Amino acid sequence: MLELALHILDIAENSTRAGATLIEITIVEDLHEDVFSLEIRDNGSGMDQETLKKAMDPFYTTKKVRKIGLGLPMLAQAAERAGGRFEIESAVGKGTKVYALFQHSNIDRQPLGDVAGAVIAIILGNPDRDFVYTHLNNGKSYVLDTREIRSGLDDIPLNHREVLSLIRENIREGLEEIRE
């Protein structure tokens, strides 16, 4: 995976397969501290300690379509290559938290990529789940919470074409605003 947005998509999909009804994606960019962090937290089924250890093995996966699970090991490697670290915490019945820290200025830090597209893809495939995307950039913040959006839609599903278009535009504008 060449962009962090693709890691977000992969991990969020893992969360939905684990039965999560709420997935929280938080990105923090702080140029003063020279950090870029990514955290994905869910309320899914979680993993026991044995499964948690296996999750970092590229030849272990719970997916039926392929026999390798490169997502988490690749994200860990990307964080470490960019002067950072990787952590994963999980508890059965409580959910999972994935955290990756990068040195923001490190030449090896992967670009964020199309985070709006990743969030849209997650919502498109999982309209019955809720997502909170928070992006902090040097003290400014942007938050997208599908629970708030859903409350104003009546019976229109989150994955309706026009709703997704509005969400994409909201993310684009929100990210532009916090980068000014």
Beta bridge partners of 31: none
Report the C-alpha gap between 45 and 66 in whole angstroms: 21
Provide the CATH number for the domain around residue 150. 3.30.565.10
The pLDDT score that the predictor gives to residue 160 is: 95
Report pLDDT digits (tens) over 45-97.
999 998 888 888 776 565 555 444 468 989 999 999 999 999 999 999 999 99
Q: What is the pLDDT of residue 63?
A: 52
- Token readout for 96 is 């999972």
**In which residue are the tokens 């990529």 written?**
113
CA-CA-CA-CA torsion for 113, 119, 125, 127, nearest 10 degrees?
-170
- Residue 52: predicted pLDDT: 86
Residue 162 has pLDDT above 80, yes or no: yes
Q: Which residue's entry shows tokens 């296996």?
A: 54
pLDDT digits (tens, 9 = 90+) for 26-48: 999 999 999 999 999 999 999 99
pTM above 0.85, yes or no: yes
Q: What pLDDT does 65 receive?
A: 52
Range of the domain at 114: 4-179
Which pLDDT score, from 0 to 100, does residue 69 have? 47
Domain count, the chain: 1
Q: What is the mean pLDDT of residues 131-160?
A: 95
- Note the pLDDT tens digit of each residue in 99-142: 999 999 999 999 999 999 999 999 999 999 999 999 999 999 99
